[in-house]
Amino acid sequence: MLEQRTLKIAMVLCLVQIGPSLAASQKNIRPARKPLRQEETVVSGRKTQINNYFSIQSDCSSNGYPEVRVSKRPEHGEVTTEQSTKAAAYPASNPRSKCNGRQLPTTALFYTSTPAFLGKDHFQVEVIFPTGGFRKASYEITFR
């Protein structure tokens, strides 16, 4: 009985110590924006680049590569990512638009359907940015 009581006290002390640091680390996670929904039409069986995720400052310096995780796999193909560089193309209203045309680090998102598949497929990803930002995106792909 004494050993069990000691264990409970130790667990409570551990939680008291971890609690504040856990709460502090959660402050750095920014709330997600409205989930992105994108539709694409592509040729069946070909590896096709679907999107690029950048993480750059308004002075065009990189924060690093975003991590892209597939949260819902497609039924008729495969989603892959690659770290690469690509010319930025932000709208004029974005403070990063002065970076347009510069080759910047990006995590590229690709989709390849099973051979000869025709029709629609869906998948979802979660993007975790080096700055602590988080975004969900849904994709609907039509194959021809």
The mean per-residue pLDDT over the stretch 41-62 comes to 90
How high is the mean pLDDT of the chain?
A: 79
pLDDT at 53 over 60: yes
CATH of the domain at 83: 2.60.40
> Within its chain, how far is the Cα of 12 from the centroid?
35
Looking at the fold, whether 96 and 121 belong to one and the same domain comes out as yes
81 and 110 Cβ atoms separated by less than 8 Å: yes
Answer yes or no: is pLDDT of 14 > 50: no
pLDDT above 90 (res 43): no
How many independent structural domains does the chain possess? 2
Measured CA to CA, the distance from residue 95 to residue 85 in angstroms comes to 20
Q: Which domain holds residue 133?
A: 33-143
Q: Are residues 68 and 110 in the same domain?
A: yes
Q: Do 99 and 123 share a domain, yes or no?
A: yes
pLDDT of residue 39: 75
Q: How confident is the model at residue 99 (pLDDT cuts 50, 70, 90)?
A: very high
